Structure 1
Amino acid sequence: MPPSTLFRVLLLAAAVGLAGCAGLPSTSDPKSAAEAYLDPQPPPDAVIVWGPYQRQFGELRMPEGAGPHPVVVMLHGGCWLADYDQGYMAGLADAVRDEGFAVWTVGFRRIGEPGGGWPNTLFDVAEGTDHVRELAAEYPVDPERVVAVGHSAGGQLALWLASRRSQPDDSPFRDETALEIDGVLALAAAADLAGLSDRRTCSDAATRLIGGSPELHPDRYALASPVERVPLGVKQILVNGDLDATWSAPADAYYEAALEAGDPVERRVVTGAGHFELVDPRSSAWPVVRDALRELVDGETPSPAADIAP
């Protein structure tokens, strides 16, 4: 089998597996969803290692112009599992870069590889995000204008980043010097870890991330699950596809909790979209994602309780 054909087969197998974790409705064809990601993915402008472990690196994409440019910290999904990495979000990262943002896609150790899961997955995301300050010494990026964007499991991580300064005093993740996150764009966010654990979603990935059930480790869920960390005190926009029931449930639970806590949060539901359309700049969801990102970076405060169907 030619190498290019083998690559496409392996990529299709991985994407079909990720589609299965996404919980696509029975009317959807996971293979069709996966085939959208068989095109060669665009490479980053630079790959920068920031730590000693294999997954402690970031992919940097820089827009044209002198800068300094606002920064999007991008976090991939895949149920926190070692089977999946940042590759499927490269098209989205390029599209965001073309909108004038520096894009820093953070790698992190995942479940199923040495050091993955509690607590190192979270530590890696935190340290990789803080590395934006180091980037500013070499690249025209603005560490004072940072928005976190995450898809699925990455949506949990993006929301969690905004909680680091307000973690309890005894939390290992509390850091008052953490890079400040100005806003979060959470795409199909896995924002309710206890709910996902109860439903054993995606091969019980949330339970595996935390290292046990909510009954066994309520303290860990309280520190890691965004639904238990509200209010975050930053602008947040949640985007979901109306065909993506599996990942709409945790996002809905988070949305209600954030509203009740008084957070400036908005939810947008894209009609006819599933899980992967949210990270595909060729899909009808892209204008919704693009506009939400612009609002967060431009400093507009979203209005609560808005469902948008383009």
Structure 2
Amino acid sequence: MPASEDEPAVLASDQNQDPNHAQTQTPAPMRTQVGYGELLSLETRPSDSTITYGEDPLQRVEVWRATAPANTALVFIHGGCWLNAYDLNHAKGLYHALAEKGITTYAVEYRRTGDEGGGWPGSLHDVSAGITASLDDVARNNSKQTVVLAGHSAGGHLALLAAQSLGAVSLGAISQGTMSPDALSQDTINSGNANSDLANNTNVQIQSVLGLAAITDVAKYAMGTNSCQSATTAFMGGDPSSVESAYIAATPDSSKSDIPFHLLHGSSDSIVPVHHASLIGAASTIVPSGGHFDWLHPESTSFHALLEVINQHGY
């Protein structure tokens, strides 16, 4: 799906080059089709602080504070097929790079398939509470920052769903332990009014939710045969025919969110096919030849497209 004319260009070139600077070194070509293993060798630094939002050690948010003047905070939900084999660490290169660009990054950890309390809908409960804990921190430290929510792959799926639920209950009550996470029912997910209660709770509003290679059609994804697709039924607690109502509840719907959806996808993603970027009511940006893990690598075309979109929504 081509990006609309309202969206940032994915591949930009300077057509008004100053002849007085003809000897300027040409930047190295940006990457596509980054492998998962390459993410693990990227330059990183430890997080600056940790926020807890529950009693389980996995119920935490790691914060990378911006090292340049910060106008934007990004709350990020990592992917990994919803499996506990993949934690937030594989995206540390992204958090580090964003902080270097002046974007304070909140990396939400959460219980996943294989963890007690993880799976559907427990992982969504954790993510929603982690987002609110992050917003509370933004409000305490710099309430003038613009906040963007984003998630990659399975984390993008959860970020989109969380955006639908943010206004339905006071998520601060969940993070503070005064409301059970089980209160996040299907009615909660579908209610919309995304920023109303949240604004009352933290005085901070999310401007947009970005799905990076996000899984948006969970039922169709569950019918696939790659390793990540095959993990869907374990996360959902059954296949689409046996737990149909769960799959309906777990399908993102932009019409049920006051927070705008923006889907970013590589055209050559072999793990989450590009048709997942086609969602009624959502903006989309497609990176030609982009792969699944490119979004997490700061030398990729996709990373620079992500920066453009964050800047578009955040400043």
Q: Does 1:53 align with 2:78?
A: no
Residue type of the alignment partner of 1:286: F
Q: Does 1:190 align with 2:215?
A: yes
User: Which one of the candidate residues 212, 218, 223 is aligned to 2:238?
Assistant: 212
For residues 149 and 209 of structure 1, the distance between their equivalents in structure 2, rounded to whole angstroms, comes to: 20
Higher relative contact order (CA 8 A, sep 6+): 2
CA RMSD of aligned residues (A): 2.8
Consecutive aligned runs of 4 or more in structure 1 exceeding 6 Å deviation: 166-169
Question: How does the TM-score come out when normalised to structure 2?
Answer: 0.73
Greater Cα radius of gyration, structure 1 or 2? 2
**Kindly, what percent of the aligned residue pairs are identical?**
28
For residues 269 and 296 of structure 1, the distance between their equivalents in structure 2, rounded to whole angstroms, comes to: 17
* Closer/same/farther in 2, CA of residues 217 and 282 from structure 1, 3 Å limit: same
Give the structure 1 partner of residue 173 of structure 2.
none
Residue 111 (structure 1) shift:
0.4
- Matches for 1:235-274 after TM superposition, within 5 Å: 235-249=260-274, 251-252=276-277, 255=278, 257-258=279-280, 263=281, 265-274=282-291
Is contact 1:41–1:87 with CA below 8 Å preserved after alignment? no
Name the stretch that deviates more: 74-83 or 33-42.
Answer: 33-42
* Closer/same/farther in 2, CA of residues 29 and 244 from structure 1, 3 Å limit: closer
Give the structure 1 partner of residue 165 of structure 2.
164
Is contact 1:55–1:107 with CA below 8 Å preserved after alignment? yes
Is contact 1:187–1:278 with CA below 8 Å preserved after alignment? yes
* Closer/same/farther in 2, CA of residues 36 and 120 from structure 1, 3 Å limit: closer
Cα deviation 1:239-264 (Å, max 9, x = unaligned): 21122143134523xx2x42xxxx2x
Residue 136 (structure 1) shift:
3.9
Give the structure 1 partner of residue 7 of structure 2.
none
Structure 1: segments with no counterpart, 5+ residues: 1-27, 299-310
For residues 146 and 162 of structure 1, the distance between their equivalents in structure 2, rounded to whole angstroms, comes to: 12
How many residue pairs get aligned? The number is 259
SS at 1:171's partner residue? helix
Question: How does the TM-score come out when normalised to structure 1?
Answer: 0.74
User: Which one of the candidate residues 122, 131, 134 is aligned to 1:132?
Assistant: 134
Is contact 1:189–1:250 with CA below 8 Å preserved after alignment? no
Give the structure 2 partner of residue 102 of structure 1.
104
Is contact 2:43–2:93 with CA below 8 Å preserved after alignment? no
For residues 249 and 65 of structure 1, the distance between their equivalents in structure 2, rounded to whole angstroms, comes to: 34
* Closer/same/farther in 2, CA of residues 240 and 65 from structure 1, 3 Å limit: closer
Residue type of the alignment partner of 1:111: T
* Closer/same/farther in 2, CA of residues 157 and 142 from structure 1, 3 Å limit: farther
* Closer/same/farther in 2, CA of residues 280 and 65 from structure 1, 3 Å limit: closer
Residue 169 (structure 1) shift:
7.9
Residue type of the alignment partner of 1:192: D
For residues 73 and 304 of structure 2, the distance between their equivalents in structure 1, rounded to whole angstroms, comes to: 19
For residues 140 and 244 of structure 2, the distance between their equivalents in structure 1, rounded to whole angstroms, comes to: 42
